[in-house]
Chains A and B, each alone.
Chain A
Amino acid sequence: MPPPFNSDMEPENTLPTPENPAPAAPETAEVSFAPRTNFARLTARTEAIRQEIGKIIVGQQDLLELLLTALLADGHVLLEGVPGVAKTLMAKLLARTLEVPFSRIQFTPDLMPSDVLGTSVFQQSKSDFEFRPGPIFASVVLIDEINRAPAKTQAALFEVMEERTVTQDGTTYRMTEPFLVLATQNPVEQEGTYRLPEAQLDRFLFKLHVGYPTTAEEVQILQGHHVGFGGTDLNVVQPILSAADLQALRQQVREQRVEVNILEYIAKIVGQTRAHKALYLGASPRASLALLNGAKALAALRGRDFVTPEDVQFLAPSVLRHRIMLTPEREMEGGTPDEVVKQIIQTIEVPR
């Protein structure tokens, strides 16, 4: 039995391409089974982003698809992987393809909340305090090694990640749209790291595992490195999407169709995490919303104007793995959140 979220499955439907966009107004019976939303621009832009990033990153197509899904679903992403698998590079390149302000924060154990959010400085000329915005005030924020900062600095991100505002000295500052946090962390290193609080983990739309490349991909990496004599020029990656473009594409995603049985399917999957005997903590309703928004974005990326159970199953591990906690017994047995999510999906009938 193939896994329900197999990445190398049969390509779904006929995807419209920039050269062959989907017809907006069907006329005959043959063309009626086509998206009622014109995804030509969305498809063209996301394909261009893939190509730009593909100039430097080899492989990682599934990861890139999930990153684009998060971008369209307006959600933050936590990238987890061992050192050297291009987590930071992938985040930097995605940021480069967007024509929006970008900042990078390297989290360290001595980082203070004011180093992230900003601080009020006394201006002698005005005899008053003036707020100096911190690096979080950007549209794409790359937080590298997020688990190296202590809990109080992590807590500083709660408000800005969820409410998109920063409150300092009684004044609330609103972030400009789009606002996307891309964070990286290393799962194996324990020395000098702090486990992210559950409240913060819940604020990430996806937690994505960045794996090792295949042998063929690694050979390609080596060839590219050899030919380029070791240098990686990020300037070859050109910006593709402006803030306004991104907002327009996100609006298309918000208007996706979702049949009521699909909503029930999402609720059942998330609800099952709260009753599963291998789980100490289940997922919150925020997880259901994340799964819904992600599925809508993924459907749009795949050229459909409606969500299918396939989209839900594909995204469930990425949405749920950081929002659930295994029982100590299951952890000692070597169980993983992904296994439990897979089991849960297998127990719920696909709406059809």
Chain B
Amino acid sequence: MPLARAAQTDTLAVSTLAEDREAPTQTLPVDRSTTLPPRRADAERLRELAAQREFQYREAKTELSFWERFWNWLWEWLGKISSTKQGRTTWKYGFYAALAGILVFAVLKLLQVDIGGVFGRKPRRSTLPYDVTGENIHEVDFPTRIAEAEAAGDFRLATRLGYLAILKTLTDQGLINWQPDKTNQTYLHELSNGALRNSFREATRQFEYVWYGELPLTAALYQQVRADQRAVTAPLNGRRPSTLAPTA
């Protein structure tokens, strides 16, 4: 047993566990002869350190902004409300009401119901913003501009203006639904069968040859084009505008 042997050789109060139970414990003598000088920090160095920012443990009191004070007040107030019985009841029913509102909104959204009308907002006519870069046919003074183009000998432009004037007339009469993205063939498709459709088809054909096909027009040929264009709109003079009912 090495521990027991060590206890026998030294003067230390070390014993085996068995000895602990049987023999009294010996204490070590306290050394009072050695004098230890106390160590003291350099006062100058302490002052220097204390002046440094890292050792300034007291936080400067920051001024709260209006917005922070508002939120502090709000949370405090809400906490105060919820601590009362009446407040807790209000919170509970408020939460149920909000949940019901979210559910109703989600259902209406899924059904694609326009709820803007409830607040008096008119439903959007089209979800797409049209990039109308050209002239608005409802604002153009066609007779004047056609006369100017004819005077300048620009029969191509005059043909175009004449065709746009037809589209304006048909729109005003409620016979076609003017949209900037529609092609001439789409308008032709919107017209019901009959003389008007035939005359519009011919005017469209001529316009496309002149405008897209860059067909050079003589004065005589232009007169025929204008006559055909007038033939489209002449029967509509004095006609009462109808409610638009496109065929498609």
Residues of A at under 8 Å CB distance from B? Answer: 1-2, 4, 6, 9-10, 12-13, 29-30, 32-33, 257, 259, 262, 304-310, 313, 343, 345-352
Interface-lining segment among B75-83, B92-100, B200-208:
B200-208
Complex interface: chain B residues within 8 A of A349 (CB): 130-134, 180-181
Decide if A350 touches B181 in the complex (CB within 8 Å): yes
Complex interface: chain A residues within 8 A of B188 (CB): 9-10
- Give the residue name and chain of the A residue nearest to B181 (CB): A346
Cα A305 to Cα B181 with chains together (Å): 23
Least CB distance from A255 to B in Å reads 13
Could you pull out 23 A-B pairs where Cβ atoms are within 8 angstroms? A2-B186, A2-B190, A2-B246, A2-B247, A10-B189, A32-B209, A32-B221, A33-B215, A257-B212, A259-B211, A304-B213, A306-B208, A307-B212, A308-B183, A310-B183, A346-B181, A347-B128, A348-B131, A348-B181, A349-B130, A350-B180, A350-B182, A352-B163
Complex interface: chain B residues within 8 A of A262 (CB): 212
- Contacts A1-B177, A1-B248, A33-B209 known; A310 to B185 CB distance under 8 Å? yes
Decide if B186 touches A4 in the complex (CB within 8 Å): yes
In the complex, whether B214 has a CB less than 8 A from a CB of chain A is yes
Q: Beyond A4-B186, A13-B205, list 13 extra A-B contacts (CB 8 Å).
A: A1-B248, A2-B189, A2-B246, A12-B185, A29-B220, A32-B209, A33-B206, A257-B212, A259-B213, A306-B213, A307-B212, A349-B130, A352-B184
Q: How does the 8 Å CB contact mask read for B163-197 relative to A, with 1 for contact and 0 for none?
A: 11000000000000101111111101110000000
Decide if A1 touches B185 in the complex (CB within 8 Å): no
In the complex, whether B129 has a CB less than 8 A from a CB of chain A is yes
In the complex, whether B230 has a CB less than 8 A from a CB of chain A is no
- Give the residue name and chain of the A residue nearest to B248 (CB): A2
What does DSSP make chain A's interface, helix, strand, loop or mixed? loop
In the complex, whether B224 has a CB less than 8 A from a CB of chain A is yes
Least CB distance from B138 to A in Å reads 14
Interface size on B, residues (CB 8 A): 38
Among B126-146, those with CB < 8 Å from A are: 128-134
Decide if B205 touches A33 in the complex (CB within 8 Å): yes
Cα A352 to Cα B131 with chains together (Å): 14
Minimum-distance CB pairs A-B, first 5? A2-B248, A306-B213, A349-B180, A33-B209, A310-B183
Contact of B221 among A4, A10, A29, A345 (CB under 8 A): A29
Contact of B214 among A29, A257, A310 (CB under 8 A): A257
- Give the residue name and chain of the B residue nearest to A307 (CB): B212
Least CB distance from A197 to B in Å reads 33
Complex interface: chain B residues within 8 A of A2 (CB): 186, 189-190, 246-248
Which of A2, A4, A306, A352: most chain B CB closer than 10 A? A352
Cα A10 to Cα B188 with chains together (Å): 7
- Contacts A13-B205, A257-B214, A306-B213 known; A4 to B128 CB distance under 8 Å? no
Complex interface: chain A residues within 8 A of B129 (CB): 347
Cα A199 to Cα B228 with chains together (Å): 50
Complex interface: chain A residues within 8 A of B160 (CB): 352
Least CB distance from B215 to A in Å reads 7
- Contacts A10-B201, A32-B221 known; A1 to B179 CB distance under 8 Å? yes
Complex interface: chain A residues within 8 A of B248 (CB): 1-2, 6
Decide if A9 touches B186 in the complex (CB within 8 Å): yes
Decide if B181 touches A347 in the complex (CB within 8 Å): yes
Least CB distance from B162 to A in Å reads 12
Decide if B134 touches A1 in the complex (CB within 8 Å): no
Decide if B220 touches A257 in the complex (CB within 8 Å): no
Complex interface: chain B residues within 8 A of A4 (CB): 181-183, 186
Decide if A259 touches B215 in the complex (CB within 8 Å): no
Complex interface: chain B residues within 8 A of A310 (CB): 183-185
Complex interface: chain B residues within 8 A of A343 (CB): 128
Cα A182 to Cα B109 with chains together (Å): 44
Cα A32 to Cα B217 with chains together (Å): 9
Cα A348 to Cα B163 with chains together (Å): 20
Complex interface: chain A residues within 8 A of B190 (CB): 2
Decide if B215 touches A352 in the complex (CB within 8 Å): no
Cα A352 to Cα B187 with chains together (Å): 13
- Contacts A29-B220, A352-B164 known; A9 to B211 CB distance under 8 Å? no
Q: How does the 8 Å CB contact mask read for B51-83 relative to A, with 1 for contact and 0 for none?
A: 000000000000000000000000000000000
Cα A340 to Cα B157 with chains together (Å): 34
Least CB distance from A349 to B in Å reads 4
Cα A104 to Cα B74 with chains together (Å): 76
Complex interface: chain B residues within 8 A of A12 (CB): 185
Complex interface: chain A residues within 8 A of B133 (CB): 349
Decide if A347 touches B130 in the complex (CB within 8 Å): yes
Cα A32 to Cα B182 with chains together (Å): 27
- Give the residue name and chain of the B residue nearest to A272 (CB): B131
Decide if B213 touches A257 in the complex (CB within 8 Å): yes
Complex interface: chain A residues within 8 A of B131 (CB): 347-349
